[in-house]
Homo-oligomer: A and B are copies of this chain.
Amino acid sequence: MARPRPLSGFPEWLPAGRLVEQHVLDVLRRTFELHGFASIETRAVEPLDQLLRKGETSKEVYVLRRLQESEDEASAREPEKGLGLHFDLTVPFARYVLENAGHLSFPFRRYQIQKVWRGERPQDGRFREFTQADIDVVGADTLPYHVEVELPLVIADAFAALRDVGVPPVRIMVNNRKVVEGFCRCLGLDDVEPVLRAVDKLDKIGPDAVAELLRVETGADPALASAVMELVGLSGEDESVVDAAAALARRHGADDALLDEGLAELAALIGAAARQAPGTVVADLKIARGLDYYTGSVYETVLVGHESLGSVCSGGRYDTLASDGARTFPGVGLSIGVTRLVSRLLGADLVTATRSVPSAVLVAVADEEHRAASDEVAAALRARGVPVEVAPSAARFGKQIQHADRRGIPYVWFCGEQHEVKDIRSGEQQAADPATWAPPEEDRWPRVVPGTAS
């Protein structure tokens, strides 16, 4: 077999890169669990009709077929009854909630870290297979607003816990659908959906093109389009942005209960964020999120200094995550694009690992007849939580030390009447007892640390 080439859009890491990814996942898991989120996993597949319910995403779905399934079997099955790979974790979570509602206590707090698949054209930071880490809180029939304040602060906590290994600071941009919707309705733009879709393109096509789009798509006259552009141009870290939006609304005679509710909610979110995660959360009225199911707060997150990468964590409030006819389940959720984040951390050398193998110690083997003695030392060290491997061959000791060195293993152990352990970085060698010796804590496991670019 010739040397295989990577598949575009399906990233894989070498062991050192995987250590960085594992650290990110471990920190996310710990943060989510400290905030009381329970882990679940769902199957990778969903019925096609469920995956296509929202319409817009149909182009992205990978459809499955068993190789030995006959053409007849396949065509006899209604196409929408087939299975596809999930393209996010929200659709499967909604299904999981409906399926298991009788066994869950609401509000139900869950996190979910899994691969998802989208058949899109791969680009920088955009993959066909990638890992998402989602948190959601879902209520039965009702879900109070304060959850919309809480969740972006959990995300702020998670990213803060990654700062010391070289992950850049994040800016979480928040908005509230009710503000834009209330404002537009007051001004006579009843169909808000095309407004949100146009505004969502602001970073891509610029304000003039968006204003033009507003005129073409919504029939807004230039004054109206300009008022909308003025609103979505507002941003800021404190509640003054809310005051500015209220003043703008008054100036345009917009007086609407929904708008007021949205502004009050946005103010509450910004106020809490300023206390609990100062400098992290920004109200940005252009944040629209194209998808139509958000009904309150919406969130996007950029790595400071890496804004062109796009959002590394997005989400919002949806009044109907799922419904079984009898009950409706509203939710608030955010999804971290772990693969997008990690690919940048590795690609830009922001984060790295101190070594690529777990072993802190290589136990040397004097000759194959005495391998059992080396195995015993290794077992004694492992029993006290020291990661160890035994040399693969009884080569001369110089070669065994080279074997450790190539892997970044810091210690080589020599068995004998009197055991000795050598720190191969300093060359220092000293007597040691397998029943008591341990490496310094910072050498025990590979550590994830800032890279050269941090």
Q: Which A residues lie at the B interface, using CB under 8 A? A: 1-7, 10-15, 18-19, 21-22, 33-45, 48, 50, 58-69, 83-85, 95-96, 98-101, 103-105, 107, 109-110, 115, 117, 119, 129, 139, 144, 146-147, 150, 157, 272, 275-276, 322-325, 356-359, 368, 371-372, 375, 379, 382, 385-390, 392-393, 403, 406-407, 445
Q: A38-B356, A63-B64 are in contact. List 13 more A-B contacts (CB 8 A).
A: A1-B98, A1-B323, A3-B324, A10-B45, A12-B41, A19-B38, A35-B382, A36-B389, A38-B357, A59-B67, A63-B67, A144-B392, A276-B379
| Contact in complex: A109, B38 (CB < 8 Å) | no
Closest to A10 in B: B43
Residue of B nearest to A62 (CB): B64
Q: A41-B13, A67-B119, A119-B66 are in contact. Are A34 and B385 (CB under 8 A)?
A: yes
Q: Which residue of B lies closest to A48 (CB)?
A: B67
A153 to B4, alpha carbons, bound, how many Å?
Answer: 33
Contact A18 B34 (CB under 8 A): no
Specify which of B12, B37, B324, B387 is in contact with A2 (CB 8 Å cutoff).
Answer: B324
Q: Which residues of B contact A60 (CB under 8 A)?
A: 67
Query: Could you tell me if B7 and A43 are in contact, using CB atoms closer than 8 angstroms?
Result: yes
Q: List 18 A-B contacts (CB under 8 A).
A: A1-B98, A2-B324, A3-B324, A4-B95, A7-B45, A15-B104, A18-B40, A33-B358, A33-B445, A35-B388, A38-B357, A44-B129, A61-B67, A63-B67, A67-B119, A147-B392, A150-B390, A276-B375
**Contact indicator A387/B41 (Cβ below 8 Å):** no
Q: Decide: A15 near B43, CB < 8 A? Known: A323-B1, A357-B109, A379-B276.
A: no
**Contact in complex: A63, B65 (CB < 8 Å):** yes
Q: Which residues of B lie under 8 Å from residue A68 when comparing CB positions? A: 58-59, 119
Judging by beta carbons under 8 Å apart, are A100 and B375 in contact?
A: no
CB of A5 within 8 A of CB of B67, answer: no
Given contacts A84-B67, A85-B64, A110-B15, contact A388 B2 (CB under 8 A): no
This chain's copy number in the assembly: 2
C-alpha gap A325/B4 in the complex (Å) = 12
Partner pick for A44 among B117, B356, B389, CB 8 A cutoff: B117
- CA distance in complex: A101, B40 (Å): 36
Instruction: Determine whether the beta carbon of A34 is less than 8 Å from that of B129.
Output: no
Neighbouring B residues of A109 by C-beta, 8 Å: 357, 389
Q: Assess the B18–A387 pair: CB atoms within 8 A.
A: no
Contact of A34 among B35, B61, B322, B387 (CB under 8 A): B387
Contact A322 B358 (CB under 8 A): no
Residue of B nearest to A117 (CB): B44
- The residue of chain B having its C-beta at the shortest distance from the C-beta of A322 within the complex is B1
Complex Cα distance, B6 from A99, in Å, reads 8
A44 and B115 form a contact (CB under 8 A): yes
Whether B67 contacts A62 by the Cβ 8 Å rule is: yes
Q: Please give me the 5 A-B residue pairs with the lowest Cβ-Cβ distance, nearest first.
A: A36-B389, A66-B119, A36-B359, A10-B43, A33-B358
Distance A267 CA – B397 CA, assembled complex (angstroms)? 29
Which interface residue of A146, A275, A403, A407 has the most chain B CB atoms within 10 A? A146
A42/B12 contact (C-beta < 8 A), A65-B62, A392-B144, A407-B105 known: yes
B372 touches A272 (CB 8 A): yes
Q: Which residues of B contact A66 (CB under 8 A)?
A: 59, 61-63, 119
Which B residue sits closest to A5, measured CB to CB? B99
Min CB gap A309→B, angstroms: 21
The closest CB in chain B to the CB of A139 belongs to: B392
Whether B36 and A357, one on each chain, are in contact in the complex, defined by CB atoms closer than 8 angstroms, is yes
Say yes or no: A144 contacts B276, CB within 8 Å.
no
Report B-chain residues with C-beta under 8 Å of the C-beta of A11: 43
Are B100's CB and A358's CB within 8 A? Answer: no
Q: Which residues of B contact A382 (CB under 8 A)?
A: 34-35, 157
Q: For residue A7, which residues in chain B have a CB less than 8 angstroms away from its CB?
A: 43, 45, 83
The residue of chain B having its C-beta at the shortest distance from the C-beta of A365 within the complex is: B146
User: Bound state CA distance, A63 and B2, in angstroms?
Assistant: 23
Complex CA–CA separation, A347 to B36 (angstroms): 26
Q: How far is the CB of A185 from chain B (nearest CB, A)?
A: 28
The residue of chain B having its C-beta at the shortest distance from the C-beta of A95 within the complex is: B4
Q: A39-B22, A144-B392, A407-B105 are in contact. Are A12 and B96 (CB under 8 A)?
A: yes
